[in-house]
Structures are given as C-alpha cells and as structure tokens.
Chain A
Amino acid sequence: MLSLNIVTELRTIFRNYWLAAITILLITVCLYAGWNGQNHVDRHQDSITSALEEMQEADDLMAAQLDSIERGLKIGLPTWQYPSSPTATGDRAPRVAAFPPGNLALISTGQSDMFNHYVKPTLTGDSFSIGFTELSSPVSLLMGNFDPAFVLVYLLPLIIISFCYNILSSEKEHGSLVLVASSPLSVRRWLLQKIAVRFVVLILLLTICLLLMLMMNGVMINAEALLMIIMVWLYAAFWFAMAYFINLRGKSSARNAITLLGLWVALVLAIPSLISQSASTFYPVPSRALLVNEMRTLQAELDKKQNEILDDYLRNHPELITRDADESTAYGWWQRYFASKELVSERMAPLLDNYDESLKQQQRWVNRLSFLSPAIVFRSSLDHMAQTSTAHYDNYRQSVLGFADEWRNFFLPMVFQDKPFTKAMIADLPAFHIEESGLKSPVPANATILLVMVAGLILASFAMSRAGKTEHLMQG
C-alpha cells in the first residue's frame, strides 16, 4: 500500500504541469540570482586585486627610491615626501587591509553592498575616522538584491505553498478522499507519504539547481557548500511540515491557501521587521550627531593644551624619549601631533564603545527572538556561510583597527627617535590579516532550531489527528 501510494503520487506529480513549471522557475531564478551574486562578488574581488597590484607597484617604486637615497642619489620628490622619512612612508605607502569574498559569497549579499572591502589605514589617520561604508546608491541598499538568499528565503516557501496547499483538500473537493479512506492506510499517513514524496522531488530538483548554480560560478563544492544545501533542505522541510499541518486541518483549498500565505507573510515579512524595529527601539544607538559634537569639543579642548599633552604622553611612553622635544623643529611638531592624537583616541574610545555595545545588545535581542521566524534563522545561517553577516564585517573592522595600531607602532619609534625608514625594512612592514577567532558560527544552533520546528510541526499534526480532530476530514 505504501509503495502504491508513493508510485501514484509520483505519477500524479510527473503528469501534472506544476512540476514542469516549478522546474523551469527554479532553474531560471536560481541561475539568474547566482549570476547576480557572482557579478557582485567579482566586482569586489576585482577592486581588491587592483588595489593589491597598485600597492605592489608602489612598493617596487619605493624600494628603488630608497635604494637611490641610501646610495646618496637624488630622487624627484620634495624631501618631506622621501620614503626614508617614516612619517611619509607611514602615510604614503599604506597596506591594503582587504576583506576578500568567501567561497560562498555569491549566496547572500548580506551587508556586503553597504560596507567596503578594503581600507588603507595610515600613520596619521585616526582609527575612529576610517570609513567602512561603501559609496553605494542608497536606493540599491533600500531595494536589496536579487541574490540566491532572496530566492531561497522568500520565493522557495511560496513555491512550496503553491505545490502543497491543496493536496488533501483537492481530493476532498473532487470527492476522491472517500476512496482513500476506504483503503487500510490512515489519512494522516497517506498525506504524510504524499507530502514526503513532494518534498523529496522538490529537494532533488533544488539541490541540482543549487549545485549547477555553484559550479557554473566556479564555487568550490566543499563541506561548507554541502552544509549550506542541508540548511536549504531544513528550511524547505519547515514549509513542507507547515503545509502538512495545515492540510491535515481539513479546511478548503482556498482556506488553506489563505492560512499558508498568511503564515508566510507573518514569518518572512512581519515578524522579522517587528523584531528589527524592536531591537532599534529598545537598544537605540547613541546619536552620531551628538558624537560629532563631543569629538569637536574634545579637539577644541586639546588644541588649547598641546604642551601639557606632550608631557603626559612622554611620561607614559618613556621609551620614546631620546632627546628633548623641540617645538620649533618638525620633529617636535610630530611629537605633539601624535601625542594629541593618542589622547583624542583614548578619550573617544569609551564613546565609540557605546556604539559597539548597543549594536551587540541589538544583535543579542535579535538572536534571542530569532526562533520566532525560520526565515531569520535561515537567513542568518546563509549570511554567515557567505561571510557577509554583520558579525563578519564587525570582525573585519576590529581586525583593521588592530592593524592600524600595529602600523602606527611600527613607525612611531622611528618618528620619535628620528631614525630613517630603510629599504631593508620593507620586508618587515606589518601585513594585514583577519582575526577569525572572534567569529562563532550560528549554523549549528540555527539548524537545531529548524529541526525542532519541523519535528514540532509533525508531532503537533500527529497529536491533532490522534485527538480525533481529523475525523471531520471525511465529512462534507
């Protein structure tokens, strides 16, 4: 009976125009979205590659210039731009601190359209004023991208709903449900088998589409890519389980469609927007406008106290005192400059920490409530695997700030001890790398949440039918 039911269901699916329609639709949207995603990734990768190439060329030129200087030759630059001057090199030969796209970056644009992918921290630049936001059109940011994440999070559930909303009700409406009831199979199991067949068919189709999309765009099919596909299965399983539950309630096809679509609106649109709104309402970020004020007041205050600052600074950095600071020389000027910069940074740090803290609180609030919507859980997993999540960009930002300090600390002793930058030092210049340790993967927890949701729905359906609430299926 079991195999007969499955065979019949398969036959029904393959004879129906729905399968052909869904196949064409899935292939088209997946490939189009993948193409869009890859274009976006290519643009980022290209910008990084060309920046690195330019840096290499500049380094070669700098090596040649240093070579000439060390051999006592003249180079065609004003002296303050000589690469042997540590302040010149610290500013004019910055490293490219890049965040290259991950293997699965094309899956989800995430925050990658809003933030930039490389910065060049300099010796005299303030860490807190490094701009991490990309020059993108705000209209694009508002509308979002047609990327695979959009297809999977928003469209896939609708495809599943349109595929499954009337499995039981249509039988009932055609009068064939009585035939099923006369067989030794319970309606609950009969429906479960039918849904399972549809699930397997759709999953197979979807997996082929996704693999095709990944391979066509040169993505390496590794464990992470397979994990991504498993997450897609789980998300799809949630919507199939939901369709099963709603079908079992035995309402009309129209009613089922309304309920399922209502759930889609609630879970994919309304709840995420409510949670996001509540996060920024309960944990508002302090005003950036007022931060500007604080920064300005601080600068004005420090401008007036320059000399005092240098004393304090040298007291904290005795290793840098090699001779008395002399205000009249450029050397003394730089000392005051860096001393006041450090003080501004120190005083700004607690203010800036407030922003990070608010954002972290928002994120914790969102994580705590994410179980309310499978769309949030699924989306955050996709963003994580694509390495385009807020956490990834935050981690990148922290790595850059750490590197900016490292860069400054490399040059400062030379500035303060009045020593030249030499050709031999090029090889010792600090190199940027992203600290991965701060990133915790939400995928296992998210997968568990989705699994629990699926299991919960199936159990609830069983409980409903055991409680005799499905007997009315036969009526009417």
Chain B
Amino acid sequence: MSVTMLRLLTKKELQEILRSGQLRIAGLIVLVLTVIAILVSAGYYQSVQQQHEQASNNERNVWESQDDKNPHSAAHYGTYAFKPKYPLSLIDQGVDKFVGISIFLEAHKRNEAQYMAAADQTGLARFGELTPDFILLFIIPLLIILMGHDSFTRERERGTLKLIKSQGVSLRLVSIAKWLGVFIPITVLTLFIFLLAGILLGTLGDFGELSWSDLLIMMGVYLVYYAIFTCITLISSSLSRTSGISLVSLLGFWIIGCLAIPKAATNIAEQQHPYPTKQAFDEAIALDKSKGLDGHDPWSEAAKKLEEETLKAYKVSSLEELPFNYDGYRMQKGEEHEAEIYFKHYHKLKDVHNAQTGIYRKLTSFSPYLPVRFLSMSLAHTDYGTHWHFSDAAENYRIELQKALNDDFAENSAYGNWAYKADKSLWADIPEFSYSPPELQDVIGQNTGNFAALAGWLIVAFAGLFISTKRL
C-alpha cells in the first residue's frame, strides 16, 4: 500500500516539477552551462597536458644532450620537473591554477614550483570560472533550492496541505515523495554530467588512465551533498510561512555555507597560522645555510671540521691520499646539509599548512560545502595535499640526482681536479623523474575527517527533515 502510495506521490511531485516552466528553463540553463564547462575544460586540459608532456620530453632531451662536462656543472645546469595533470581534473580543477606547474631542480637549492596559471589571468578570474566543479558545487545546490523551496509552502499557500492531512496520508510518506521529487531529477543531471565526463575522458587519449572507481566515488560524494541540500531545502520549506521567506532563508544558508564560511575560514586560518612571506621564508633558509657547510666554500669553519673528520675516519694525513676526490665528497656533504635545512623549513611550512587545514576541517560542521570541496579535490588529485606530494617527490629526486652527480665526481677524479669532465653517457644513465599521485586508499585515509563530516551532515539533515515534517 505504502509503496504504491509513495510511487503515486513521487510521480505527482516529479510531474509538478517537470511541468513548471521556470524549472524547465533553469534546468536547461544549468545543462547548457554544464556542457559548455565540460567541453571548455576538456579543451583546456588536453592542451595543458600536451604542453606538459612536450615540455617534459624536451627538457629530458636538453638534459641528455649536454656535452661532456664536470658533473657539478651539470648539477647547476639542473633540470625541470613538470607537474602532470590527472583525468579527474577535468571535473574539479581544485587549487591547480593557484600552484606552480614546474619545479627547477638544481644543486644546493630546493625551488618552489613556478608559474601559477592564476598569475597569468585577470583579476576577474578570482570571481570563479565556469568549470564543472563550479556548477557541481555552487549552481546545482541553487537548482535544488529553486526546485524544493516551495514544496510545502506551496501546499500551505494553496490550502492543499489540509486536504492531504484529511486524506489520512502519512505526512512522512509525503515528505519522502517530495524529497524524491527533487532528488531524482538532480541524480539524473549528476549522472549525465559524470557520464559525459567519463566518456570524454575515455575517448580523449591525452588524459591518462581514467579510474572509474575514483569517478564513481566522486559522484557519490556529490550525490550525498545534493541529498543534504534537498533535506535542508525541504526543512526550510516546511518551517517557512511563505515561499518567499523559504527561498530567501535558503539562499542565506547557501551563501553562508558555500561562500561566507569558506572565506571566513581563510581569514581565520591566515590569522591564526599565517604563512611566512616568500622573502622571510627564503631569508630564514639562507641564514641557516650560512651557518653550516657550503660545498663551494672550503674555508668555512664547518668545512674545516669536515676535513678533519674525514682525514681521521680514513686515517690519512692529506686530502690527496683519500680514495676519492674530496671536492666531490664535500660537495655531497654540503648538499646533504642543505637538503636537511630545506627539509626542516618545508616541514615547518607543512605544519602551518596542516594547522590551516585543521581550521577548515573544524568548520566543516558549519558548511556541507567544505567537506565536499576538499573530498572532490583530493579525488581529482588537484588538492594542495597532492601538490605537496609532488613537490616532495621532486625534492627526493633532486637529492638523488645530486648524489649521483657528486658521487661520479668523487669516484672518478682526483682531489683538486676541477677540470674533470664526465662522459655525456652519464646524463642518460640517470633515470628520468617520474611521479605517481597518492593511491585511492591513501586519499581516502587522509580524508576520513571529511567523510565523517559529510556523513554527519547527512544524518543531521535527514533527522531534521523527519522532525520538521512531523510538526507540519
């Protein structure tokens, strides 16, 4: 009985929504915007991906075609690591345009990723861009509000709520039907978006291997987000006196949850855990470096100490007697010391980043947008965490590269022989930099807090809906 009734009620709700001219227009606009966003993003990512691949290949060529030269000259000449794009960045470009795309890997120095795309755009880009994540995160919740804000107020304004009650239909059933009436079309739209993205990603070769499970989890996250918004919309509709008040309050909720709280979170995070300025960060590193061993400076105190220790350890009286070129050895020791300094300072920076993330995470209880934003970026590998992961991988590669070059210098030449040139085959022998982003289980592991917050919101939203419709 109740299943048939539910089906009938849901059908009525769906018909009402689908017949409304306003909603049809709104739905059509969203659909058109979505298709434009996906196609534009696909074009953009395809070209960026091609450019990165081309740049990586060219850079490797440049590296390998160096002539015979001193390995330390090659170390200074350096090489570049380019950050690859991943398929799901088509759907969510996350923080990608606010982080650099390439890191210069050279001797003695850990460099920041350079060339963020946002710096090459007008200030208007800070308003947001028409990308699939913009539609998924901001516009579809608005569509839900538009569809559902008058679900109950409409019945109340027309006086049909009393009729329904007098029919003896369970109000809970009516609420479930209304919920489905809004949620089903939204699910269809979401399925369409993800299917379109999936097909594009499957057919365009340049996007790399698409993982359908990642895509499905991402879609699941968005569907939960929409389920929450649907509940909240219906709660507002059941509590409001008129449709206008319901709409205005829902928009208030939307703007607080999706815009105001995330922005306030930024300010709180920056006030409580400020990032150092670029100059302060660089100067702190320079200061630490100046106190320790510099591979190029054999006269410093640290260098003298290393010299004594090495002579003692190898039980020889002069550097010439060592079984390797001491210049290369000192260079490597200096490199290790500098790497430690970078590790320390970047670790501090990462602590600030973690503390800031903690602030955002605390505020997830006030905004369902926040956990979804972070989960979506993580799954798309366009979050800040992935950027750190990439930057650390590049640094590890840099350290290995320096070691390989310094070792060659130390092992194949005599002390003081700065004229030593390594054969150019050495450049090709050093493996190319390759990077893989965190695995799905790691992504999920790092985001348990966000999953929990999202689950919490879902439970509270359904409980709220249950309570509010009971009191109708």
Instruction: List the interface of chain A (C-beta within 8 A of B).
Output: 32, 36, 39-40, 43, 47, 51, 78, 110-111, 114-120, 131-146, 150, 154-155, 158, 161-162, 165-166, 253-254, 256-258, 261-262, 265, 269-270, 272-277, 279-281, 284-285, 287-293, 296-297, 300, 355, 358-359, 362-363, 366, 375-376, 379-380, 383, 389-390
Contact yes or no, B270 A383, CB < 8 A: no
Least distance between A126 CB and chain B CB atoms (Å): 12
A257 and B146: CB pair below 8 A?
Answer: no
Q: Which chain A residues border B265 with CB–CB below 8 Å?
A: 143
Chain A interface mostly helix, strand, loop or mixed? Answer: helix
For residue A119, which residues in chain B have a CB less than 8 angstroms away from its CB? 279
Does B188 have its Cβ within 8 Å of any Cβ on chain A? Answer: no
* CB pair B244 A256 closer than 8 Å: yes
Residues of A within 8 A of B98 (CB): 114, 138, 141-142
- The minimal Cβ–Cβ distance linking B361 to chain A, given in whole angstroms, is 11
Smallest beta-carbon distance A188→chain B, Å: 22
**Chain A neighbourhood of B153, CB < 8 A:** 254
B277 within 8 Å of A (CB atoms):
yes
Stretch from B118-126, B311-319, B424-432 at the A interface: B118-126
CA distance A43 to B272 in the complex (A): 12
Contact A137 B356 (CB under 8 A): yes
Instruction: Pick the residue among A158, A287, A293 that contacts B255 (CB under 8 A).
Output: A158
Which residues of the partner chain B approach A279 to less than 8 Å between Cβ atoms? Answer: 121-122, 124-125
Chain B residue with the shortest CB-CB distance to A300: B62
Contact, CB under 8 Å: B124 / A135: no
Contacts of A288 in B (CB 8 A): 101-102, 114-115, 117, 120
Q: Is the CB of A254 within 8 A of B124?
A: no
Query: Is A165 a contact partner of B248 (Cβ separation < 8 A)?
Result: yes
Beta-carbon contact of A141 and B118 below 8 Å: yes
The answer on a CB contact under 8 Å between B360 and A276 is no
Q: Is B123 a contact of A383 with CB atoms below 8 Å?
A: yes
Q: How far, in angstroms, from A285 to B47 measured CA to CA in the complex? A: 12
Does the CB pair A272–B124 fall under 8 Å?
A: yes
Known: A136-B275, A137-B353, A158-B251. A289 touches B280 (CB 8 A): no
Task: Give me 20 A-to-B residue pairs in the complex whose CB atoms sit less than 8 angstroms apart, sorted by A's number.
Answer: A36-B271, A39-B267, A47-B280, A114-B119, A131-B278, A133-B119, A143-B265, A144-B266, A253-B244, A254-B243, A273-B128, A277-B40, A280-B129, A290-B54, A296-B59, A300-B65, A300-B66, A355-B120, A379-B127, A380-B124
Q: Is the CB of B62 within 8 A of A296?
A: yes
Task: Give B366 Cβ to nearest chain A Cβ, in Å.
Answer: 13
Residues in B with CB closer than 8 Å to A145 are 263, 266-267
Residues of A within 8 A of B271 (CB): 36, 39
Minimum distance in angstroms from B55 CB to a CB of chain A: 4
Q: Please, which residue of chain A has its CB at the minimum distance from the CB of B98?
A: A138
User: Interface SS of chain B: helix, strand, loop or mixed?
Assistant: helix
What separation, in Å, do the CA atoms of A209 and B279 have in the docked complex?
36
State which of B130-138, B216-224, B327-335, B405-413 sits at the interface with chain A: B130-138
Kindly list chain A residues whose C-beta atoms are within 8 Å of the C-beta of B251: 158, 261
Tell me whether B120 and A359 are in contact (CB under 8 A): yes
Selected from B22, B266, B275, the residue in CB contact (under 8 A) with A146 is: B266
User: What is the CB-to-nearest-CB distance from A42 to chain B, in angstroms, rounded to a whole number?
Assistant: 10
**Cβ–Cβ contact B263 & A146, under 8 A:** yes
The CA of A109 and the CA of B116, in the complex, are separated in Å by 18
Is there contact, CB below 8 Å, between A40 and B270? yes
Complex interface residues of chain B between 247 and 274 (CB less than 8 A to chain A): 247-248, 251-252, 255, 259-260, 262-267, 269-271, 274
Contacts of A133 in B (CB 8 A): 100, 116, 119, 278
B99 contacts the other chain (Cβ, under 8 Å)? yes
Which residues of the partner chain A approach B280 to less than 8 Å between Cβ atoms?
47
* Given A134-B277, A274-B130: A289 in contact with B101 (beta carbons within 8 A): yes
B293 to chain A, nearest CB (A): 16
Beta-carbon contact of B244 and A285 below 8 Å: no
Collect the chain A residues with CB atoms within 8 Å of residue B123's CB: 110-111, 380, 383, 389-390
Please, what's the 1-or-0 string for B394-421, where 1 marks a CB less than 8 Å from any CB in chain A? 0000000000000000000000000000
In the complex, residue of chain B having the shortest beta-carbon distance to the beta carbon of A256: B244
- Contact at A139–B356, with CB atoms within 8 Å? yes
Instruction: Convert B76-117 into 0s and 1s, putting 1 for each residue whose CB lies closer than 8 angstroms to a CB of A.
Output: 000010100000000000110011111000000000101111
CA A476 to CA B59, docked complex, whole Å: 74
B266 touches A140 (CB 8 A): yes
